[in-house]
Structure 1
Amino acid sequence: MTSSGWLRAEISDHEMTRTFAAIAPAAVLVAAVFYIDAFTTIESAIAVLYVVALLLAAPLLTRRGTVVFTVGCGALALVAYVIAHSDDVDVPSLLRLVVALPALTITSMLIQRTDLAHERLISANQALFESETRYRSIFEQSRVALWERDYSLVREFFHSLRSRGISDFRAYAAENPDIVVEAMSLIRTIDANGAARELLGLSPDEALPMSLYPYLSTETESILDMLDCVFCDRDRYEGKFRITSRDGTARDVLLSFPSDPSAFKRIAVGMFDITQRENTQRALRDAQAELATAARAATVGALSASLAHELNQPLGAIVVNAQTLLRWLDKNPPDLEAARHSAERMIRDGQRASDIILNARTILKPDKRILQDVRIDELVEETRAFMDHDLLRENVLLVTDVEKGLPTVNAVRIEIQQVLINLISNGIQALAGKAGGDRVIHIRLGQLVPDALSLTVRDTGEGISPAIMNRLFDPFFTTKPTGMGIGLSICRHLMEGIGGSLTATNHDLGGAVFEMTIPIRATQ
């Protein structure tokens, strides 16, 4: 803007002469109108012609200059009226003046409004130009593969399908496979940046392919997802594709674009090269598969070791009972009744060994385990009989405290017994090295909550060290020189398999306490 503040800012000082030359016709018209209105006897609305002068000058004036020009023309009109009618007041002339002044004011206001709208339009166009410049700069220089694509034709095609009553594009494509190729051929390429050309192996001056469909060596499912997104007018799309470049190199890309109905003629589509990530994930999946195989092998090994551990008890009992049987038979005369009891115990222990093997098979197979009603109080007494030999050998006293009238539980009998035997065996081992003092294992069975029984096994040993408490149930963790570290892990797994739990704490008076929570109705 000039120092006067009347002329537009874009008029420079060296153009001032030409500016005044351009505004001269308006000044001449103003002078002529003033002269005719003040010094002639022409009876007409001459002052209205100031509006024409204002319109001539307006393109060169600022809004402030327009106001000054308008005020000046109004003042000249008043002066001319005073000069021409100083002797008498002419009512028609006064009316013409009254009409001329509002016309001049209204014209000035319209010019101001038009000028303001013009400035806003210029500002908006400038912002649009700057935005387009930034967009083109980002588009061209980005290392992300960017495409400008026209989805308008395929969108119109989908509208025609919907007008025919088709609402499920996937189902329609399943019945008409050719529709996918037809729809993809309607998506046209407008432009692409250098990274996009590089992705397809195109030179900078090579013509862009109209359709990218020939380069998409991917499953039809990904293409169906993208077309279904456009068909359903969703907000945006993102999916994985495999692109095959000109030289045959395959790359995994993540394709995304905004689904904007107002801009379907020119949509920016981004392709992010995720080949390295996908290769890493594939390698990770392969490694996980190998690890799973190794884990299964380790599980089989652990189960084998567990079977050996669990079978050692009934097989040892069978041997002891067989030796007892021979002693009863060697008597003179033979004690057939005692021999019969030994034989019955051998049958019982043999059946237990068979049950252990059968249960191990159900763990390895995906079939559901066979649940049955089990009386835990009877199971405790039966387990005591199984463990009599080990208890006597280590001089350990087993004390039981069983509530009366406990309900039966729905579980796998052999699994509950396996866990109980394991806990009693661990208690015996904990007391084996104890010098002096009580060597007692307490078993308590009760119902602490309505839907589960609580079975605790407590020994009077040294208890569990805080350093190993958190790792006690970890597979292959053991503090025993010859231990496998799988017994407690399998026990917890068996209890959790029926919806129960197995926990360990130390008793206030010393020794370890293991608590089995046995649900009355087991889950599979």
Structure 2
Amino acid sequence: MRRNDDESLGESGRPMTLGLGVLFGLLIVFATVVTLVTFSVRDDIRSQLRDVDSHVLNLLVRNEIAQVERDANLVFEFEAIGEIELWGALLETASVEGVFAVQLFDANGELSQSSSGSLIERNLPEQVLAELAEGELSSQFSPDVWLSDFVDVDFAADRLVAVSDIYLPLRSSDGAVSLGTARYLMDGSSLARQFAVLDQRLMRQAAVAVGLGGLAIFVLFWLAWRRLSEANARVLRHAARLKRANAELAMLARTSAVGSVTAHLIHGIKNPLAGLRQVVSARRAGDTTLDEEEWRGASEAAERMQRMVEEVVAVLQDASSGLSYETHASDLFDALESRFAAKAAARSIAFTVTGPGDLAMDNSVSSIVSLVVSNLVKNALEATPDGGWVLVELASDGESASLIVSDSGKGVQPSLRDRLFAPMNSGKSGGAGIGLAISSQLARHIGGSLRYVDTDYSGAVFELAFCLREKPLEEGL
């Protein structure tokens, strides 16, 4: 009992473990998606904040250049302001809050003017030249950069600073003439603070989203899991009831089989018992004139009943013990010949049994087949006149087999053929009419069937079809 309890706990624990794994997986996926979306939004907002200063400076520079061009009274379109006028316009914009240095580069990217002599002189980087060639602004923000990277300072004065490095393409007001490139260095501490505030807000919002979303997922998952658990419990209860019903049906099937075998025994010993009863009655009446023939008949009747009882007891023992082993068709052939060959020979009836003797079948199948075929052969011998024939033929396709019992008697009347396997329907004088019905029920017990075969000649032909291996009762049900 302890082992069964442990197994039940294990079986109930596996779905719970799987459910928790699925829940944690959903939470991890949801948190990952929220995190990725948050970082994507953060990058977009940062890019917009970073570009604000560059666009403002670009507008101021374009206005100053236009003003300088108006003051210079340019006449022709190909005329452009000189470097001195252009540098003066850039110095006007250098007073914007946050700008601490400005530089002017010519069209080749070489440094021409610088607002501070302490700035390290460098030409334009290749990456910036490529962006400017496409007419785009170039803006770079460095939250932690050493001051000595762009300013000539003493080692003691070097420190980490936040810097925005902005490059603007310079053109005439009509856009026809390229005037070079302006570089603005701006204090990035304000932008760094905006980035920090932005990150705090986004992380806080992401945490709230993950918490609320995770709680919603947990609640929905718990409700769904509860419904599934209830449905699973109902299914298990139904399965248990079906299992019990199946076991009861299996028991009924076994009981039915025992009843069929018992009915076969009763049907088989009815006639021999009647003969013995007559002998006993004559003995009690003082009739001592019984001849040798009558005593021999009584002895044969007793032997026949003893043999049938032994056969039925063997079948019932096999069914109750549950033992399973293989038998061969040759054993069945030997039993039929041992039982009926002498009787057939006494009446000059040719009795033949043919088929693959090495055909293997389960013992439970073989015992039932033996009972059914014995009844068919007995009927065939009774219906066959002296000098006739009775033939038993076995054929198989590997998994199933058929046994055909045919004789040279008068056959079955057409009016009885549709009701051959119904109880209380006999075409023989003194017959009880249940032999074929019992045989048909026994055939169904092993998953087979018994039928009458119409033929062109006058004799009767019965076919027993069956499986060589017994199916479990639960499978059959």
Q: Under TM normalisation by the shorter chain, which class is it? A: 0.3 to 0.5
Q: Select the structure with the greater relative contact order (CA < 8 A; seq sep ≥ 6).
A: 2
When Rg is computed on C-alpha atoms for both structures, the one with the higher figure is 2
Q: Provide TM-score, normalisation by structure 1.
A: 0.40
Q: Provide TM-score, normalisation by structure 2.
A: 0.43
